[in-house]
Structure formats: structure tokens, C-alpha cells
Amino acid sequence: MQRFDAVNQMWPNVATAIETETLLVNQPVEETLQYRVIPVNKTGAGTASDVVRVVL
């Protein structure tokens, strides 16, 4: 899972999961955050998911 870093205009990884869900902790609050998922299997990385925007 990646979260958009608006300052550096990058998508750094914030979590890795083997299951279909994960729990993120210590995320910034009171600002709009953007997340996406990049699927990976033995053949490599797939296409990024649609972006989800949230405010915590």
C-alpha cells in the first residue's frame, strides 16, 4: 500500500500485506490522505488501484 507524499510528489510504501486487508497506524490526522494498492505476484507488480482519499 502506498500513500501519496504531496511535498515530494511521490508514492512511498506505507504497508505490505499478504492478506486482503491491513491496519495502518500512526497516520497523519486532520489532512486529506491519498492511498493506493499495487498488487504483486511471482510475475511482478500489477497496475495501481484507483486512489482512495480519506481524512482521519
Q: Locate the domains of the chain by residue range.
A: 1-56
pTM equals 0.87
| pLDDT value of residue 49 | 96
Integer Cα distance of 39 and 42 in angstroms: 11
Question: Which whole-number Å values give the CA distances from 16 to 7, 24, 30, 31, in the listed order?
Answer: 23, 10, 24, 23
pLDDT digits 0-9 by tens, 11-32: 999 999 998 899 999 999 999 9
Pairing assessment for the beta strands 40-41 and 44-45 based on DSSP bridges: antiparallel
CATH classification code of 1-56: 2.60.40
Note the pLDDT of residue 42: 94
